[in-house]
Chains A and B, each alone.
Chain A
């Protein structure tokens, strides 16, 4: 390779005028081209308008749209059991929470605080994907405004949304998501409360989980003895 490749072959000083397309008479008088352009513009004027007058007219996203993640409020309280899966699945580490226990409530566990830093959130939807309780879902909100960084950290008061308002999304999730696991486990309202106590009506006592397992073992032994 003998030619020096670093050097450009043509530049502003040598353009090749021989290859230039010469204009014919009609093109030189310029008017037909102007009218062609005007005709195109005129045609476009009667096309349906494509844009939207945003603050007055709002875009209504479909159910599949991934907007701001929210916590589902079911009968006055959050569905969340503070298992921490969403925080673990979150790629930009936007979610933080602290679990707390309440033995009076059949759900037993709830998040003491639950915060999503909306400056970090990338709307990937992984939190919703991993949530075993359908407690965190993506809503349709897409225009978030904050005036400070502190304001951008959404706590439970901002995150909780009643499940009636999220009907679209919850229905979509039931229909499309988790098809793979759907054949083994169907999400339904009764399974929502993940407490071991509620699974089996017999166990509606105020025992702790460890005590319950011990209870179970005792019962198993008894049945074995009975069988013998």
Chain B
């Protein structure tokens, strides 16, 4: 007999032997994935089902393991790590690059000029919008709302166009370098970005109309996969998934890196508006309003951005950091991305470890999915927004 202790009324799940009609039932183990379309990549979930209720969920990872750390150690230059960093969280490559560049700059004691900082922040926030759009679109798609997915992708495409004009690539940019940028932004970057910001504002409202407060969508996501505040903190969750549980924690505000301390923005937290605090809908709506905050940051950055400045001013000719180690964390769209870099004074990194937010966020899945329906698993996986490239590295 499976018992799930509740804070409120105690719920007893039907014992497997007694289905009421004399027929015996037993727990069934099924595999969800690795080819399941809603696992956002190659995640295999081993679900133990009692009827339609999940009694145990074990995620199996490693299908996309590409030896990131060993690759870094094999590279004979620190700059060569940047393309690999892109490929960790491939829908938010700019933020990965930014984290790595900042870590290396702190290790080497490089100061970059203001223009570089502003361009970096604008790029990172645009990437956050693009990443959230993908997360929201596919979350809706998982649950059965196909239309918002396409509108989200149109907007994401506009962001990618801006990136393409600046860096020459649409997904894996290799744009933010240690001590600077690959090249300066084109002349119409400012106007393009400003045009995007103005055109994107009403789209958030549109998305809310289409999806967020849709009755069917709310039914599918409210009260599902509730992640209480304490559990979230115990598991080390970060990013929108943590903020969805009502914890006001954002590294951009609490441990400002780059120039984030110069901007005015709010930290969005979930409030349990339509269901319980920390359910799938809360995690979803945090992402929606975070896009609005990113727009605010971009607008301020565009206003303050200096027009002049050499973006490769402090790019070192040979990267040979002093012996030592550093842990540097930044806020990516998925949470706290930390790089732990050990240098032995040579040109080859001795060790680079990435603390990937998706990996940590995934670890809470077994805890929050017990007791949910098997169809809700899709919503739960979608709401914690994992990218398997980052989970497996």
Chain A contacts to B: CB under 8 angstroms: 1, 3-16, 19, 21, 23, 27, 40, 50, 61-62, 64-66, 88-89, 91, 122-126, 138, 176-177, 179-180
A153 to B224, CA, bound (A): 50
Across-interface contacts of A180 in B (CB, < 8 A)? 310, 312-313, 315
Inter-chain CB contacts under 8 Å: number: 124
Residue B234 lies at the interface, judged by CB distance under 8 Å to chain A: yes
Within 8 Å by CB of B168, from A9, A13, A66, A126, lies: A66
Q: Does B174 contact A (CB under 8 A)?
A: yes
B368 & A8 in contact (Cβ 8 Å cutoff): yes
9 sampled A-B residue pairs with Cβ under 8 A: A6-B367, A9-B276, A12-B52, A12-B224, A19-B222, A23-B215, A50-B154, A61-B164, A180-B315
| Contact between chains at A16 and B230 (CB < 8 Å) | no
Write out, one digit per residue, whether chain B residues 170-181 have a CB within 8 A of any chain A CB (1) or not (0). 001010000000
B-side interface residues toward A, CB under 8 Å? 4-9, 11, 13, 52-53, 75-77, 79-80, 82-84, 87, 154, 157, 164-169, 172, 174, 182-184, 186, 209-210, 215, 218, 222-224, 226, 228, 230-231, 234, 274-276, 279, 310-313, 315, 367-373, 376
Q: Is B312 a contact of A91 with CB atoms below 8 Å?
A: no
Q: How far is the CB of B388 from chain A (nearest CB, A)?
A: 19
Contact present for A8 and B4 (CB under 8 Å): yes
Q: Given A6-B367, A66-B168, check contact A12 B373 (CB 8 Å).
A: yes
B184: A residues at CB distance < 8 A: 176, 179
Closest beta carbon of chain A to B66's beta carbon, Å: 11
Residues in B with CB closer than 8 Å to A5 are 228, 230-231, 234, 367
- A155, B289: Cα distance in complex, Å: 51
Alpha-carbon distance between A23 and B215 when the two chains are bound, in angstroms:
9
What is the chain B residue whose CB lies nearest that of A67? Answer: B168
User: Contacts A65-B168, A179-B312: A19 and B274 contacting too (C-beta < 8 A)?
Assistant: yes
The 6 closest A-B pairs by CB, nearest first: A11-B371, A64-B168, A124-B83, A91-B80, A66-B168, A15-B223
Give the docked Cα–Cα distance between A40 and B80 (Å): 48
CA distance A62 to B167 in the complex (A): 11
CA distance A10 to B75 in the complex (A): 48
With A15-B223, A65-B164 in contact, is A123–B218 under 8 Å at CB? no
Residue of A10, A62, A88 near B276 (CB, 8 A) is A10
The answer to whether A9 and B7 have CB atoms under 8 Å apart is yes
A4 to B370, CA, bound (A): 14
Residue among A13, A126, A138 facing the most chain B CB atoms (10 A cut-off) = A13
